[in-house]
Amino acid sequence: MSDEPLTASTGPMVGDDEERQKTDEERLLDEIAEQKDLIDALTGDTCEEIAHRAPQKKLGQLEFKYQLLVEEKRLARVLLKFQELYGDLYTEPCLICLDDIHVHAATDMTEIFYCCGGFVCKSCAGDIKGLDKCPLCRESFAVNSAALYKWQVMTLAKRGVSWAQREAGILMIDGMEGLQKQEKAGLEWLNKAAAQNDPSALHELSSLYREGMASELGKSQEKANELLLKAANLGFANANSELGDCYYRGVNGFEEDDDEAYFRASVAFALDGTDEEAAEILGYFHFDAESIPEPSLYLACHYLNIAASEDSSGDESFNYSIALHKLNQHLHDGYKANGSDATPALLFWLRKSRDLGHENGTRLLKKLESNGQSRCANCSKKVKADEKLKQCSKCRAKWYCSKECQVEAWRAGHKKDCKRAAILKFEDYLNAE
């Protein structure tokens, strides 16, 4: 064995990852500064010249990458603070790769095998997809049926498996999967799971106390909030996002508190990066630009886009469309030109909000469509009383006085705007050519 002392190059040092992360931030900041210098050096003040500045688009992509990197580090710090306040997050190892899983963060963090009650992480679940036997107990996977599922859940629940007790309770209360509706028995199973500190069961009970069950459970906001706080403090993402919403709006017995709302929504998203309610709250804070230290239009679009992906009311699609429009104004100094016009994307999301019955989205859509139909989008010629413009059949967001104007606009860059309009993910939209 060599007697030479270890040097920094012989192995990773504590903080190496952080240093690499800092290097990434510094690199992005340098690139951002270069793009700004390029933009400042450009000449030309017409709408077309300003809107088509390539460095402007590149700047937006770099700024988003940088702010996303900073946000990821902020969320990591928030999660550390949460654990300082409420204790370490409960983890269990994946039974294949042995990586720790925050099993209490969300109900879909693992792939559960109902034959034995074991579970694996989502990554390993993908690797073993297609097997005909359980990788844990080696039992053959039987043909799925409601009867078998019911039997497996009840068997595991009686064995004391908390998630199965929770599931049995929900199934009985709702009368699903072949189980007779039995609210009293369902509550008993939920309470058994809650007694084992199953956060999803606690959260479910919180909802039941808030709404009340006519036959078995009276309404109690105090009890509902007690259970909600307990589930949230155990690290359940959905409970934290609901708590964040309560603080954000000042409802359900919680006083309005922006700091706590931002903290809880951040915890929820750090635990589960698909939590739409948390994403919506974070998007609001970044769009509002007054309630948090470093608001970002990029992050407003990022979060509101995640919320809009599962929109059921039209609110999220409407809010995302407005944020997208505001960001485009920021990137292109308010100018609209073919190839850098967010109007097609704006109308795409407004139509989604209209289709979901959103009144503000419907009104704004009508106004923008009316304005668009009043003059040619290429030559700005006003429409005569008896004249009808030709609508772009792809994005349905631009109108032209002639085929020639339509072709000219298409070649000038409207083709790009059409392509981007229906891109569902914000990052892909921002990076689309």
Model confidence at 108, pLDDT cuts 50, 70, 90, reads confident
Is 27 among the domain residues? no
Is 60 among the domain residues? yes
Q: Give the percent of the chain with pLDDT over 70.
A: 88
Secondary structure in 3-state letters for the chain: CCCCCCCHHHCCCCCHHHHHHHHHHHHHHHHHHHHHHHHHHCCCCCHHHHHCCHHHHHHHHHHHHHHHHHHHHHHHHHHHHHHHHHCCCCCEECCCCCCEECCCCCCCCEEECCCCCCEEEHHHHHHCCCCCECCCCCCECCCCCHHHHHHHHHHHHHCCCHHHHHHHHHHHHHCCCCCCCCHHHHHHHHHHHHHCCCHHHHHHHHHHHHHCECCCECCCHHHHHHHHHHHHHCCCHHHHHHHHHHHHHCCCCCCCCHHHHHHHHHHHHHHCCCCHHHHHHHHHHHHHCCCCCCCCHHHHHHHHHHHHCCCCCCHHHHHHHHHHHHHHHHHCCCCCCCCCCCHHHHHHHHHHHHHCCCHHHHHHHHHHHHHHCCECCCCCCECCCCCCCEECCCCCCCEECCHHHHHHHHHHHHHHHHHHHCCCCHHHHHHCC
Is 401 among the domain residues? yes
What does the pLDDT look like over 369-404, one tens digit per residue? 999 999 999 999 998 888 889 999 999 999 999 999
Of 44 and 94, more confident: 94
Q: For 137, how many CA atoms within 13 A lie in the half-sphere containing its CB?
A: 11
Same domain? 348 vs 428: yes
Same domain? 362 vs 423: yes
Last-in-domain residue among 310, 326, 360? 310
Average pLDDT estimate for 117-125:
87
Structurally, the chain folds into a number of domains equal to 2
Is 104 among the domain residues? no
What does the pLDDT look like over 204-260, one tens digit per residue? 999 999 988 756 778 899 999 999 999 999 999 999 999 999 999 999 999 999 999
Q: Name the residue among 212, 176, 177, 206 with its Cα closest to residue 190.
A: 206
Is 134 among the domain residues? no
Question: For residue 410, what are the domain limits?
Answer: 344-432
Q: How far apart (Å, rounded) are the C-alpha atoms in residues 359 and 365?
A: 10
Is 284 among the domain residues? yes
Is 49 among the domain residues? no
Same domain? 417 vs 348: yes
Give me the pLDDT at residue 237, please.
96
Last-in-domain residue among 289, 310, 331? 310
Give me the pLDDT at residue 126, please.
85
How high does pLDDT run on average in the chain? 86
What interhelical angle do 315-331 and 54-86 show, nearest 10?
Answer: 130
Model confidence at 20, pLDDT cuts 50, 70, 90, reads low
pLDDT at 405 over 90: yes
Q: Which of 98-112, 199-213, 254-268 has the lowest mean pLDDT?
A: 98-112
Of 264 and 213, more confident: 264
Give the max Cα distance, the chain. Answer: 94
Same domain? 348 vs 290: no
Average pLDDT estimate for 81-104:
91
Last-in-domain residue among 260, 295, 310? 310
Is 405 among the domain residues? yes
Give me the pLDDT at residue 219, please.
87
Same domain? 306 vs 352: no
